[in-house]
Amino acid sequence: MAEGFDIDHLAKLARLSLTAEEKALYSSQLSQILGHFQALANADLPATIDDARVVDEAALRSDEPGPVLGAEAVTRIAPASRDGQISVPRVVDDES
CB of 49 to other proteins, least distance (A): 5
Report d(CA 80, CA 82) in Å as an integer.
7
Binding site for other proteins (CB under 8 A): 9, 12-13, 15, 49-50, 53-57, 59-71, 74-75, 82-95
CB closer to other proteins, 28 vs 87: 87
CB of 18 to other proteins, least distance (A): 17
Distances (CA, A) of 35 to 7, 45, 88: 16, 18, 40
CB of 29 to other proteins, least distance (A): 18
Of 85, 3, 78, the residue nearest 38 (C-alpha): 3
